[in-house]
Structure 1
Amino acid sequence: MSASTAPTLVYVTYQGTPGTRFDRTYYVERHLPLVMQAWGRYGLESVAAFFPAEGREGTIAICECRFRDAAAIDAAFASPQTPAVMADVAHFTDVAPAQLRATPL
């Protein structure tokens, strides 16, 4: 499998403090299905949420989005569905998400 066709991950992280608003239930039950519905047609294969221990400053949530390849990420983020995905962030947090692309070895 060449690097251009290898599965590619996007990690979306949220940084905060113990007082930062982040609705984990909404995120898992509403936002992640919205992401899957919006970007699945472009090559998003799966999403998973991880939450570090509560009550600590730093990373408060991590989402792993597994795409078919790098071209699928580009297509998803350029899609007409992306504004709705991004607008939904305000429903569960006031924190701006950060994104990092990674390719498994």
Structure 2
Amino acid sequence: MIVICTGNADVRFDRNYYANEHFALAKSCWEAHGLQSAEAFFPHAEGGSWISMGVYTFSSEQGVHDALASPATQHVMDDVKNFTDATVVLRSLFTEF
């Protein structure tokens, strides 16, 4: 699953918290559903609006659906305010082709 946050230069985003604290929380909440790893990427493009890309690797697509449907997901979502006021604009699953 890939989660992308967008914004401009005025948007608060704590990269360290995101990559360390938030990912640790996500792992504790979603590991039972097959979360194997979480990675942070911070794209840069002139005039671009993407602030971060979080790549959450699960053992199966069903695991993603189960994780997002679990009550623990509320803890992950409630934590977002601790590292950003950016808008999450895209949450996507990617399949091989």
TM-score between the two structures when normalised by the length of structure 2: 0.90
> Over aligned residue pairs, what C-alpha RMSD do you find?
1.6
Matched length = 96
One-letter amino acid matched to 1:75: D
- Residue equivalent to 2:23: 32
Are 1:82 and 2:45 matched, yes or no?
no
Q: Given that residues 36 and 59 in structure 2 are in contact (C-alpha distance below 8 angstroms), is that contact kept between their aligned partners in structure 1?
A: yes
More off after superposition, 87-96 vs 51-60: 51-60
**1:84 aligns to what SS in structure 2?**
helix
d(CA) in 2 for partners of 1:94 and 1:73? 24
Uncovered stretches (5+) of structure 2, i.e. residues with no partner: none
5+ residue gaps in structure 1? 1-9
**Which of residues 27, 30, 33 in structure 2 aligns to 1:42?**
33
TM-score by length of 1: 0.84
Are 1:101 and 2:93 counterparts? yes
Displacement of 1:23 after TM fit?
Answer: 0.6
- The structure with the largest alpha-carbon Rg is 1
Give the deviation of 1:15 after TM superposition. Answer: 0.6
What stretches of structure 1 move > 2 A for 4+ residues in a row?
53-57
